[in-house]
A and B are shown apart, each in its own frame.
Chain A
Amino acid sequence: MQVNEPPKPKFDIDRRKLLRSGLSLGALTFLTGCDISDNDTVQSMFAVVSQWNNFVQSELFGAARLAPEYPESMAVKDFRYNAWYHADQAPLLNAADYKLELSGLIDTKKPWSVSDLYALPQKSQITRHVCVEGWSMIGKWTGTPLSELLKRVGADTTAKYVGFVCADGYYESIDMATALHPQTIMAYQLSDQILPAKYGFPFKIRIPTKLGFKNPKFVTALYVTNRNPGGFWVDRGYNWFSGI
């Protein structure tokens, strides 16, 4: 049916529509404080974007690009302790009993004792530890490049991942390119002192090209694999690559 009424002015009709869009934008901002994050669709979206960000970061990573090193005077002596438990609950490993277990795509799986490890060639580096939360600290670490150990035990360096198991229930994994990076070391010392228990005796994996939580302490087992082993914080929603 044809109605011979003039069309309503365009900008008046749509005031209602406009009000509605305004309200939904307002609703969105209110929702943000509540539970929009605790939603399956949102969490699946995060997982997809995190995979994409892993890819972008691995592309950005330069296998030979070194983290800046700092003068000795800038290294902090009293390094910050950081874990989800109190420092006095950190596992106390006995040097005499300790063994580093090896498994996965590795030829020689004979376990390594503390003295075997400490006898490997060592180097020192003064680099910045950057925490995912935003604090950072420069420290001096001394130890053996992880690539040296991987070479000596005949690890398959064409594999994709190196996984770590720790004495405190922590676990982590890194990409092979980072494992072979010249500054990725098994750090036995911090500030020229053998690592105290709370910093990860007998050694921590020190990776200046990754965020702090990718630097596992008290490593008791190491394995090479093609299946991504995840990590303690990674399995709680943090990005796996976490390169810096």
Chain B
Amino acid sequence: MKSAKISAATHDIQEHPLLVRIAHWSQALAIIIMVGSGWRIYNSVPIIDNFRFPQWATLGGDPPISKIAHMDPGVANALNWHFSGMWLLLASYLLFMAHGLISGHFRRDLLPLHPRGLIRDFIDALTFRLSHRLGEYNHVQRAAYWGVLFAVLMMFASGLAIWKPVQLSWLTWLFGGYPTARVVHFIFMSAICLFIIVHVTLVALVPKTLVAMVLGRAADPIHTTETQHAGE
């Protein structure tokens, strides 16, 4: 029986509890909604002169239909997506954070994180010498996961500052005022998009990580590192 052979002694194993998988995919969906609708909203008053996101990449319906139904190019739809998606993002983010903190997943898998380890792993990654072991995160990955969790947190904070510049005027003030808070919101959106590009690329390179995030478990025979690399 093949499955009996898969053990920690012979295999790298990556496991994600159901709760984590639900929170992960809900966040993925929520972020697609938030970014897509955010780009449509952005397009009505661009921050960078003359830079607009291509309409096909945005969320908010067919502009000609919307021109008739809403007298706008889909901004009402986009705002509705944005202010619906934020609740999904909030719920899934809180679920993910609560689980990560309480279960010890963050402490176990994303810590420790040292600058020296980060630099070492970063150089290894750039020179394609960084080996990937399922279920174990190197320092670059740890930093990236903390980074994206922080970026989402900052999206909530800067988003609230834009949404409620009067009721939460202290928060808007902390971000340097309403127009600056908008720019901050844009910058952290860009950071999240950058993370997604890297994240999805790496998943494509190591597809078993996707197996683990969908089915809950994936295993890989342990590589006897040096010889294995030489043979590849």
A: residues with CB less than 8 A from B are 6-7, 9-11, 14-15, 17-18, 21-22, 25, 28-29, 32-38, 45-46, 49-50, 52-53, 60-62, 65, 67-68, 84, 128, 130-136, 208-209, 233, 236-239, 243-244
B111 at the interface (CB under 8 A from A): no
Closest to B55 in A: A33
Mask: chain B, 48-61; 1 = CB below 8 Å from A; 0 = not = 00000001111111
Q: A49-B84, A134-B182, A237-B76 are in contact. List 19 more A-B contacts (CB 8 A).
A: A11-B217, A11-B219, A14-B215, A21-B214, A22-B210, A28-B29, A28-B32, A32-B32, A32-B36, A33-B57, A36-B59, A37-B61, A38-B65, A84-B71, A133-B45, A237-B77, A237-B79, A243-B166, A244-B164
Bound complex: CA A233 to CA B105 (Å): 47
Bound complex: CA A84 to CA B57 (Å): 26
Bound complex: CA A130 to CA B219 (Å): 53
Q: Which residues of the other chain, A, contact B217 by a CB distance below 8 angstroms?
A: 11
Partner of A236, one of B29, B58, B72, B164: B72
Q: Which residues of the other chain, A, contact B96 by a CB distance below 8 angstroms?
A: none
Q: List 18 A-B contacts (CB under 8 A).
A: A6-B2, A10-B215, A18-B211, A29-B32, A32-B59, A34-B62, A35-B65, A37-B59, A37-B60, A37-B61, A37-B74, A46-B80, A68-B165, A133-B75, A134-B182, A135-B45, A237-B69, A239-B80
B17 at the interface (CB under 8 A from A): no
User: Interface of chain B, helix or strand or loop or mixed?
Assistant: helix
Task: Determine whether the beta carbon of B164 is less than 8 Å from that of A38.
Answer: no
Task: Determine whether the beta carbon of B75 is less than 8 Å from that of A35.
Answer: no
Task: Determine whether the beta carbon of A18 is less than 8 Å from that of B81.
Answer: no
Q: Which residues of the other chain, B, contact A36 by a CB distance below 8 angstroms?
A: 59, 61
Q: Which of A25, A32, A236, A244 has the most CB of B within 10 A?
A: A32
Within 8 A of A (CB), among B77-102: 77, 79-81, 83-84, 87
B42 at the interface (CB under 8 A from A): yes
Q: Which residues of the other chain, A, contact B163 by a CB distance below 8 angstroms?
A: 244
Task: Determine whether the beta carbon of B178 is less than 8 Å from that of A136.
Answer: yes
Bound complex: CA A18 to CA B218 (Å): 12
A134-B182, A136-B178 known; A208 and B41 CB under 8 Å? no
Q: Which residues of the other chain, B, contact A37 by a CB distance below 8 angstroms?
A: 59-62, 66, 74, 77, 80-81
Task: Determine whether the beta carbon of B60 is less than 8 Å from that of A61.
Answer: no
Q: Which residues of the other chain, A, contact B179 by a CB distance below 8 angstroms?
A: 136
A28-B32, A45-B84, A237-B69 known; A33 and B45 CB under 8 Å? no
Q: Which residues of the other chain, A, contact B178 by a CB distance below 8 angstroms?
A: 128, 130, 136
Bound complex: CA A244 to CA B163 (Å): 6
Task: Determine whether the beta carbon of B1 is less than 8 Å from that of A134.
Answer: no
